Amino acid sequence: MKKLLLLFFFFSLLSAEAQFWKKSTSTTPTASEVTKALKEALQQGATKGAAQVSQLDGYFKNPEIKIPFPQDVQMVESKMRALGMGKQVDEFVLSLNRAAEDAAKQAAPIFVSAIQKMSIEDAYAILKGQPDAATQYLSRTTTPQLKEKFMPIVKASLDKVNATRYYADLIGYYNRVPFVQKVNPDLTGYATDKAIAGLFVMIAKEEKNIRKDPLARTTDLLKKVFSSVTK
């Protein structure tokens, strides 16, 4: 009887130890889980960020990403306002932001394609990287495609709302002022670059939220993976 009790006690210890190790290892995400979770997080942040900025006033009423008068020709804005053309300048700035909002609607499919190509190495680098590592990954892998897709949309949008005409009028008027240095920067390129930069600002905010706020992790897998590096 004593031997039976000892055997029972021994097997109970083995069972408890096995359960302990099973529980311990289950809290450590596998490589495939890390990759899948990072893809989920990236897709969540990217699509949400793109949706936010592509809405009406997504750029224009967001002081973090609102596109201003081109910095290279700030003196044009000051001069135009001094000459009583503030309304035309304001309409021009609004048109820049409307163009960015139009273009941003095309971003989500580009992001999804890049996310699906993410490797295990990419996923671990993002998981253990800087707070904006995922945003940097997207920026590095999608900016050329975004520029290619955004530029014709930005140009068409600027033309549609007469931004190019406003700009031509403003610059033409300014260039006729005696003794000023003539200016003529690339308006479409400027608006495109600003639109892409603003988009990544919003994606970085979503990434930070997912990393820091457990409530922003909308699936069990996201909770498991991100909690493994925040403990």
Query: What is the rounded end-to-end Cα distance, in angstroms, of the chain?
Result: 47
pLDDT value at residue 157? 82
pLDDT by residue for the chain (231 residues), tens only, comes to: 444 444 433 334 334 434 433 443 456 778 888 888 888 888 888 888 999 999 999 999 999 999 998 876 677 778 778 878 788 788 888 988 999 999 999 998 999 899 988 898 988 888 888 889 989 999 999 999 999 999 999 888 888 766 777 677 777 777 777 766 766 667 888 899 999 999 999 999 988 887 777 666 667 777 777 776 655
57 conformational bin, left if phi > 0, alpha if psi -120 to 50, beta if neither: left
Tell me which H or E stretch contains 2. helix 2-26
222: domain range? 31-230
Q: Is residue 102 part of a domain?
A: yes
State both tokens at 56.
Answer: 């009406």
Q: Is residue 87 part of a domain?
A: yes
How many whole angstroms separate alpha carbon 174 and alpha carbon 189?
21
pLDDT value at residue 77? 79
pLDDT value at residue 179? 66
Instruction: Quote the number of domains for the chain.
Output: 1
Axis crossing angle, helix 120-127 with helix 31-54, rounded to the nearest 10: 70
Measured in whole angstroms, how far is the alpha carbon of residue 184 from the centre of its chain? 30
pLDDT value at residue 137? 92
Q: Is residue 21 part of a domain?
A: no
pTM of the model: 0.76
Q: Is residue 117 part of a domain?
A: yes
Q: Is residue 75 part of a domain?
A: yes
| Max Cα-Cα span within the chain | 111
176 conformational bin, left if phi > 0, alpha if psi -120 to 50, beta if neither: alpha
Q: Is residue 150 part of a domain?
A: yes
State both tokens at 172.
Answer: 């033409």
pLDDT value at residue 213? 73
Tell me which H or E stretch contains 13. helix 2-26
CB distance 133 to 65 below 8 Å: no
State both tokens at 5.
Answer: 């009790």
Q: Is residue 161 part of a domain?
A: yes
pLDDT value at residue 74? 74
Q: Is residue 73 part of a domain?
A: yes
SS (H, E, C) 37-73: HHHHHHHHHHHHHHHHHHCCCCCCCCCCCCCCCCHHH
83 half-sphere exposure, CB direction, 13 A CA radius: 14
